[in-house]
Amino acid sequence: MRHVRGFDVVRPLSIWMLIFTMMPLVFLPLASIFIFGTSSGLGNFWSALMAPEAVFALKLSMVTSFWATTFNVLFGLFAAYVLSRYNFLGRNALIVTISLPTAIPTAVAGFALLLLWGPYGTLGRFLRPQGIQVMFTAGAIVLANIFVTFPLAFGVIKPVFDTMSRSLEEASATIGATRWQTFWHVTLPSLRGAIVSGALLTFARAVGEFGSTILVSGNLAGRTQTAPLYIFAKFNEGQIEAANAIAIVLALFSFLIFSVLFFARDWLDVD
C-alpha cells in the first residue's frame, strides 16, 4: 500500500470497516423499528402506544424491574461486603454460584422457577392448599427478573469493595464509629458509582427480560404481560404496529440507560 506522508490510511479504513460491519447487524435492525413504527404517521404510533394493554405492559415491566433491581442492588451490596471482607471455606464456591445465573439460558431459569414454585412444584404444592400462588403473578415476574439479573449489581460492586483500602474502615472505627456508621459515612459514599451503574445495568436487563418471564407469568394480557411479552403477543396476532410502538419505547429506553452509563461514568466514579 502506498503511503502518503502524514496520512495514515489504516485509520479511516478501520473506522469505516467497523461502521460497515455494524450496519446490517445493529444499526439497520434498530433503524427499521423506527422507520416502520412511524411510517403510518405519528398519530397511529401514539394511539398504539396508548392502548390500555400496552400502557399496562409498560407499567408492569417498569414496576417489576424496579423491585428486582432494588432487591439485587441491596443483595449485591451485602454479598459483595461479605465476600470481600471475610474469608471462609466455600467462599469461592459462593462467588461462582452467584455469577451462575448469567450463564444459564433464561428459559431454563423460568423453567426452574416453575418447578419450584409452580402449583405442583417442590415448594408450590405446599403453598397451594394455603391459597398462595406464586407463579403466574407479578410476583413471579419479579422472581424471574431477580434470578436472571442476580449477578449484575454484585459483579459491579464487588471489585470496588476489593480495591477499597481497609484502612479507611479501620480509621473510622478508631475514630469511634460503629460498623453501621462506618458503612454509611465511609464505605457507601465510595460505592456510589458502582451502585448506580449496577442498578442501571440490572434495570435495563430486567426490563428486556423475555425467556423466563414468558414461562412464569402465564402471559395474561392486562394482568401479567410485560412489555416484551406484549410485543411477542401482538406480533403473533399480526398487529405489527402495536408491537412496534412498544419496541420503539424499549429501544429508546435502553439507549437512554446506556448513554447515562457511558457519559456519566466520570461522575459515577469521582474520587
Residue ranges that bind other proteins, judged by CB under 8 A: 165, 167-168, 170-178, 181, 185-186, 189-190, 192, 271
Q: Give the distance, in angstroms, between the CA of residue 262 and the centroid of all CA atoms in the same chain.
A: 16
* Residue among 82 and 188 whose Cβ is closer to other proteins: 188
Q: How far is the CB of 74 from other proteins (least distance, A)?
A: 21
Q: Under the phi-then-psi rule, with left for phi > 0, alpha for psi from -120 to 50, and beta for the rest, what region is 177? A: beta
Contact 213, 229 (CB under 8 A): yes
Q: How far is the CB of 180 from other proteins (least distance, A)?
A: 10
Which residue reads 449485591 in cell numbers?
76
| Whole-number CA gyration radius for the chain | 23
Q: How far is the CB of 187 from other proteins (least distance, A)?
A: 10
* Residue among 130 and 165 whose Cβ is closer to other proteins: 165
- Cα–Cα distance for residue pair 16/166, rounded to 1 Å: 47
213 exposed, middle or buried (CB, 10 Å; 0-12, 13-18, 19+)?
Answer: buried
Q: How far is the CB of 186 from other proteins (least distance, A)?
A: 6
* Residue among 174 and 236 whose Cβ is closer to other proteins: 174
Q: How far is the CB of 270 from other proteins (least distance, A)?
A: 8
DSSP string, 174-236: HHT--HHHHIIIIIHHHHHHHHHHHHHHHHHHHHT--HHHHHHH---TTTT--HHHHHHHHHH
* Residue among 72 and 172 whose Cβ is closer to other proteins: 172
Q: How far is the CB of 91 from other proteins (least distance, A)?
A: 19
Sign of CA pseudo-dihedral 212, 99, 72, 128: positive
* Residue among 192 and 223 whose Cβ is closer to other proteins: 192
* Residue among 52 and 176 whose Cβ is closer to other proteins: 176
